[in-house]
Structure 1
C-alpha cells in the first residue's frame, strides 16, 4: 500500500507538463503573442501595447521597453507583473480568444546589459505552461547575413500615427544601409518591397529569418513616407537568453529532487 501511494505521488510530480523547447513549424503567426494590461479600456483588445514571441512552453521574448519603461502607446500608467496579460494564438487583436489562450505573467526577467532600456530584452515567464502546441521559435546559431530577406510580424498601426490594426501585419524586410542602428547589438531593417512603413510595427515584434528569430523590435525611426525599425539582435543576446532558461531548468530540477527526497523519507518513516 505504501509503495502504491509513493508511485502515485511520483506520477503526480512527473506527470505535470514539462518545460521544454518547442519548435517552429513555419506558421510564424502562431509564434507571435499580444502583450496587454489586465483589463481592457472600452472594448476587448484595446489594451494591447506590445508584441512578443514564444520562446518555450513557459517563456515569451519581448523588448525591455515593454516592461521597464512607459511606451507612448501604453494605455495604462503601470505595467506590473500582476497587470500583464499575454494572449496567444490570435491573429485578430479585437477578437476575444478562448480563455485557455490568455496567460498571466509570473515573472519578468530583464537583461541588465544594453544601450538604454529599449535595447534590452525581456523574458516573461507565463503562469502556466503552453500545452499541446509546437510553435516556439528557434534561436540563431550564426550572425545574420545582410543579404537575407526576413519577415517581421505585429499588429502595429494601419497608417502613420493611425489606430492599431485588428489583423496581424506581416512585412518582408532586409537590413538597410541607409539606416544606422543606435546600439552595437542592434539591426536596422527597412521594407524590402517599399510597401508598408516599418514605423507602424509594435515594439517587441519578432524578426524571422527563415525559421529563426533574429531580432526583437526596439525603436522606430519615424518617417511619414519611409520608416526603419531597429531590432535588438537575439544572436548578440544569446548568453542572457540561455542563462535565464538554464537557471529556470536548474531550479525546476532542484525542486523535483527535493520532492523526491521528501517522498522517500516519508515512505521510510511510515515503513
Structure 2
C-alpha cells in the first residue's frame, strides 16, 4: 500500500509539470516553544509528510492532497519532532476530504482529520480561530506560515518547527503571474510569499496554516515546481473562509 501511495504522488507531481506540493519553510526562523501551539504534524508510519492545524478538540485542518501520502496519524503539542510521546501526542485519524476535491490543480484542496480521541488543551496545545468570512484580507498584509520541511530546495526535513513572514499578494496579480507560466489558478485561493521575496514554503509542509494576526486564513496548497529558490510565482493557499459552512457542518455532526 505504501508503494502504491508513493507512486500515485509521483504521478500527480509529474502530471503538473513538476510543480511542488507545499512545505519547506524557506529563510525561516525557529518558533518559540509557547507559540503556534495549534500546529500539527501529519504523518505516515511515524514520518512527517504534511502540516496541519488544530481547530477544535476533535479536528485538525489540512490539505486534501495530503491523503495521497497514505497518512496514518497526527502529532500535536510539540515543536520538536524528536520529542514525541506517542501515548499523549499521537492521534489516529479519520479522513474527511472536501467532497468537491479532485486534485490540487483544480482547487478545493482542503480536508478535515477527525482525531481518534479529544485533544486536551494545555500550555503546549491550543486550537486556532478561523478567518471570519466577512473580513477582507488586504493586499500586502503581513502573515506567517510554518512547517517542519527542509530549508533549501530538495533538502531534508527539519526536526524543529520553522516559521517565516510572508505578504499577501493581490489576487489579480497572482492570477496574471500564474497565467504567464500557462496555469489557470483555481478559485477560492489566497496567494502569499514566493513572489518578489525570498521567503515562502516548498515541498513537504502542505496543509499548514497561513496565519494573519491570530487567525488561520489559508491552507498551504502548492507552489511553482520543486524550485524553492524564490522569488518566482506566488505561493498558493486554499482560502479557509470560503469553506466555513462545510467545516462547521462537519464539526457539528462530529463526523463526515
TM-score by length of 2: 0.72
Q: Which residue of 1 aligns with 2:142?
A: 149
- Structure 1 position 246 matched with structure 2 position 252: yes
Q: Judging changes above 3 Å, is the alpha-carbon distance between structure 1 residues 32 and 240 closer, same or farther for their aligned structure 2 residues? A: same
- CA deviation digits over 1:67-116, x for unaligned, max 9? 1x24xxxxxxx44xxxx1111111112333362111111x2211113473
1:179 aligns to 2:170 (yes or no): no
Q: Which runs of 5+ in 2 are unaligned?
A: 1-33, 179-184
**1:183 Cα deviation from its structure 2 partner:** 1.1
Report if aligned partners of 1:119, 1:218 keep a CA contact under 8 Å in 2: no
- C-alpha deviations, 1:161-215, integer Å up to 9, x for none? 1111121110101122553362110112115993434325611011100111000
The reply on whether 1:165 has 2:158 as its aligned counterpart is yes
- When Rg is computed on C-alpha atoms for both structures, the one with the higher figure is 1
- What does 1:100-179 align with in structure 2 at a 5 Å threshold? 100-105=88-93, 107-114=94-101, 116-117=103-104, 119-133=108-122, 135-141=126-132, 142-177=135-170, 179=174
1:232 is matched with: 238
Q: Is the 8 A contact 1:174 1:191 kept in 2?
A: no
- Structure 2 residue corresponding to 1:212, chosen from 210, 215, 218: 215
Q: Does 1:188 align with 2:191?
A: yes
SS at match of 2:36: helix
Residues 119 and 243 (structure 1 numbering): CA distance in 2 closer, same or farther, change over 3 Å?
same
* CA pair 194-200 structure 1, distance change in 2 beyond 3 A: farther
User: Within 2, Cα distance between the matches of 1:150 and 1:66?
Assistant: 23
- Equivalent pair of 1:108/1:124 in contact (CA under 8 Å): yes
- Which of 29, 32, 42 aligns to 1:35? It is 42
Alignment correspondent of 2:78: 90
Against the structure 1 CA distance between its residues 233 and 224, is the aligned structure 2 distance closer, same or farther, given a 3 Å change threshold? closer
How many Å apart are 1:32 and its aligned residue?
0.5
Higher mean C-alpha deviation, range 238-247 or range 94-103 = 94-103
Aligned length: 205
- Looking at structure 2, the residues matched to 244 and 100 of structure 1 have their Cα atoms a distance apart, in angstroms, of 25
Q: Over aligned residues, Cα RMSD in angstroms?
A: 2.6
Please state whether the residue corresponding to 1:146 is helix, strand or coil: coil
SS of equivalent residue, structure 1 residue 198: coil
